[in-house]
Amino acid sequence: MKILMVLTSHDQLGDTGKKTGFWLEEFAAPYYVFKDAGADITLASPQGGQPPLDPASDTDDAQTDATKRFKSDTAAQTELAQTTQLSTVSADGFDAIFYPGGHGPLWDLAEDQHSTSLIEAFAASGRPVGAVCHAPAVFKHAKGTDGTPLVTGKTVTGFTNTEEDVAGLTDIVPFLVEDMLKSNGATYEKGADWASFVVVDGKLVTGQNPASSEEAARKLLALI
């Protein structure tokens, strides 16, 4: 079982001068769900190498069992520091693809043509595609085999407009995940803000927020 995990390389939160990147829990929890299931994991990012960590995801109050495990796992840290450059990765040979969130993907992965092509290849071949929190942004330009947006007619979730309001970034982000999914023809569902909520539609798995990352990974695994 081979799983491709794709992380952001973008570290600037708009023009605020603040840093962003990937959200630690949304990487660590799925990583260990996959690892403990015996998966062979390949980590990739647009620029390759060490992806930027959103500092807000590394505060004391953001720590979980998975993030604590990662912090004591030197092998995983080394693996993360050496992500493969995304443009060199083919969909061939992988059983599923999964995108951790954080605000970074709104800027780079949402517009990355190679990422979009990978998603389209996985979807067209009936292999599971997963994304959590802000990572459903990667479906912005992805198309189905019929040429319509990949999420058209699909039931999905992702970071809610109200959660973005609480984060104080509604006017900073390039687009709102909830609004984009709806405009692409998806049926958007959500649970309570900050609570775990995951939607599975066919081979598409989406999670609403950081609390949803472990459940999303487990549901992706169940589809392989």
Condensed to tens digits (0 to 9), the pLDDT of residues 35-48 reads: 999 999 999 999 99
Q: Which domain holds residue 48?
A: 2-223
Query: How confident is the model over 102-126, as a mean pLDDT?
Result: 98
How far, in whole angstroms, is CA 148 from its chain's centroid? Answer: 22
- Report the DSSP pairing between strands 96-99 and 129-132: parallel
Query: Count of domains in the chain?
Result: 1
pLDDT at 164: 97
Contact criterion met (CB below 8 Å) for 119 and 204? no
pLDDT at 17: 95
Q: What is the pLDDT of residues 156-210, one digit of tens each?
A: 999 999 999 999 999 999 999 999 999 999 999 999 999 999 999 999 999 999 9
Residues 6+ apart with CB under 8 A from 61: none
How far, in whole angstroms, is CA 65 from its chain's centroid? Answer: 19
Closest alpha carbon to 33 in 223, 213, 224: 213
The rounded distance, in Å, linking the Cα atoms of 92 and 142 is 18
Q: What average pLDDT is seen over the chain?
A: 97
- Report the DSSP pairing between strands 198-201 and 129-132: unpaired
What percent of the chain stands above pLDDT 70? 100
CATH number reported for the structural domain that contains residue 59 in this entry: 3.40.50.880
Residues 6+ apart with CB under 8 A from 105: 8, 10, 22, 99, 134, 135, 137, 138
Residue 211 tokens, joined: 């609390």
How far, in whole angstroms, is CA 94 from its chain's centroid? Answer: 17
Angle (nearest 5°) at CA 220 between 20 and 146: 90
Which DSSP helix (H) or strand (E) runs through 97?
strand 96-99
Write the Ramachandran bin of 66: left for phi over 0, alpha for psi from -120 to 50, otherwise beta: alpha
Closest alpha carbon to 87 in 115, 120, 116, 111: 115
Residues 6+ apart with CB under 8 A from 10: 20, 21, 46, 52, 104, 105, 106, 107, 108, 109
